[in-house]
Amino acid sequence: MHYAGNYSVGGAILTEYNNLGGASGVLGAAITDETSTPNSPWGSGRYNHFQKDGSIYWTAGTGAHEVHGAIHDKWATLGWEQAMGFPTTDETTTPDGIGRYNAFQTGSIYWTPSTGAHDVRGAIRDKWASLGYERSVLGYPISDEMNDPAGKRSNFQNGYMIFNSTTGVATAYYNNGTPV
């Protein structure tokens, strides 16, 4: 165990923290001790929170990954690992160079300066992936996943997607309602 200021950081979380520049890096100094995740439906994990609006979470199955900034804030409002599972990637620049994202066990959070941070989950994320993610005709998400009379819905820059809970199918539409 290593102490970053007054707080303990160890193992894979410490390795990730040091890879990110330690206290002078993107996360800053630790503001919590390394702590176990409470009652996670995704299994046992550990985390540290850091002063520059970020965290590193670790599980044996996912490894240690950092989440920070607007994506971190969105994940917090959704309920941390309780809602989307643990991060499976570090915050990463999207292939188009405009946005950033973190993947989690059951979804992703995407952010751009113009759209903000929004979650995309399950079958809707899978369909969006098959279309090419942010490079697809839909563009970036502009809403979080929400309830819809048919099941679930996510809005995108150039359309929307509905997951029909009866059929189990996610369908993409242009903003005018025409299927993609």
pLDDT value of position 3: 56
Please give the residue range of the domain that contains residue 178. 122-180
Q: pLDDT class for 147, splitting at 50, 70, 90?
A: very high
Q: How many domains does the chain have?
A: 2
pTM: 0.93
% of the chain exceeding 70 in pLDDT: 97
- In this predicted structure, the answer to whether residue 4 has a pLDDT above a threshold of 90 is no
**Integer angstrom CA distances of residue 66 from 25, 60, 92:** 12, 15, 10
Per the domain annotation, does 91 fall within a domain?
no
Last residue of a domain, one of 59, 83, 107: 83
Q: How many CA atoms lie within 13 A of 119 on its CB side?
A: 24
**Integer angstrom CA distances of residue 126 from 96, 131, 163:** 19, 9, 11
- In this predicted structure, the answer to whether residue 168 has a pLDDT above a threshold of 80 is yes
Q: What is the phi/psi pair of residue 78, to 5°?
A: -80, -15
Convert the pLDDT of each residue in 37-84 to its tens digit: 977 887 889 999 999 989 999 999 999 999 999 999 999 999 999 989
Task: Give mean pLDDT, residues 77-96.
Answer: 95
Last residue of a domain, one of 83, 108, 130: 83
The DSSP bridge partners found for residue 48 are: 56
Task: Give mean pLDDT, residues 9-14.
Answer: 94
In angstroms, the CA 115 to CA 18 distance is 31
